[in-house]
Amino acid sequence: MEPSNTTQISRFLLLGLSKEAELQSLIFGLFLSMYLITVFGNLLIILVVSSDSHLHTPMYFFLSNLSFVDICFTFTTIPKMLWNIQTQSQVITYEGCIAQMYFYILFAELDDILLSVMVYDRYVTICHPLHYTVIMSPYLCAFLVLISWVLIALYSLLHSLMVLRLSFCPEMQMSHFFCELSEMVQLAISDNFLNNIVMYFVAVLMGVGPFAGILYSYSKIVSCICKITSAQGKYKAFSTCVSHLLVVSLFYFTALGVYLSSAVTHSSHSSTNSLVMYTVVTPMLNPFIYSLRNQDIQGALKRFYFMPRLKGPIS
């Protein structure tokens, strides 16, 4: 049988998290709550960092970019899932599926790259404190963010173009609540060998590279902290990395869970649970981790909260 051309594709069916009708309201309420918490939590981080001059440093510049990416990351998947539940429809168009896949890859990989850039900032802070302002100049920070966006946009475009060459049946069912790259490749009825090669090769390259950079930077950071003689100095140096270390651990453990659940268990339920952790829970927890473990953020939040009250009586 000749595979149908991709131009004949009209829609995909997203099966979502559960087929049970009585659970749809619970799922809708739960994911709507998590989505709103994610958006408002990360938006608050962006507003606080931009409005407080004490936080106009490279570390918080990268953090505000990470928060923006996390908002966009959840926006690519959750609103469509909530819309499908509300309208009792599982349909997403072929064009919508390609677009969703593109932006999902874009923001997921930007998360990865920004975490690597942030650990480099921590490395310079602890290992080269006297040269910090020279090394981490505003131009370098802006360049690192810009080059990250450009490279990951091209990376995501590569995967999207590779999927566009595939052929599918007129109506396909996807076991997840959004269009995920590996599942789309496996659902193709045309030859997907080249797609699999490119997908896994580039994924390993883009995943292992930043992770290796993070491990190397932290090995240097630990080495520098061990050379500090005072216990108070060691604690102060280590405390600057705690929040980032927690976010990195959460990101990579959930990403590893997604990979293992899809490559080893072949269980759609297990894979979906891992994807929920990766795409929803992690972006939601990031603002809490940085605000609860960071005294600068806590102080800025207090100033951000009390400033309108202090200005109120005067005006």
Q: What is the pLDDT of residue 308?
A: 54
What mean pLDDT comes out for the span 264-272?
58
Asked whether residue 38 is domain-assigned, the answer is: yes
**Domain tally, the chain:** 1
Asked whether residue 3 is domain-assigned, the answer is: no
Q: What is the pLDDT of residue 270?
A: 59
pTM for this structure? 0.87
Asked whether residue 4 is domain-assigned, the answer is: no
Handedness of CA 173, 176, 180, 183 (dihedral sign): negative
- Determine which of 28-32, 101-105, 264-268 has the lowest per-residue pLDDT on average: 264-268
Asked whether residue 311 is domain-assigned, the answer is: no
Q: Over 60: is that where the pLDDT of 290 sits?
A: yes
Asked whether residue 205 is domain-assigned, the answer is: yes
Q: Domain containing 216: what range?
A: 10-304
Main-chain dihedrals φ then ψ at residue 174, nearest 5 degrees: -115, 135
Asked whether residue 255 is domain-assigned, the answer is: yes
Asked whether residue 244 is domain-assigned, the answer is: yes
1 pLDDT band, cuts 50/70/90, is very low
Q: pLDDT by residue (tens digit) across 130-148?
A: 889 999 999 999 999 999 9
Q: Over 80: is that where the pLDDT of 63 sits?
A: yes
Structure tokens, 21: 């009708």
Q: Over 90: is that where the pLDDT of 296 sits?
A: no
Strands (E), the chain: 11-14, 91-93, 171-174
Q: Over 80: is that where the pLDDT of 209 sits?
A: yes
Asked whether residue 155 is domain-assigned, the answer is: yes
Residue recorded with tokens 């216990």: 231
Instruction: Check which CATH number belongs to the domain holding 161 and give it.
Output: 1.20.1070.10
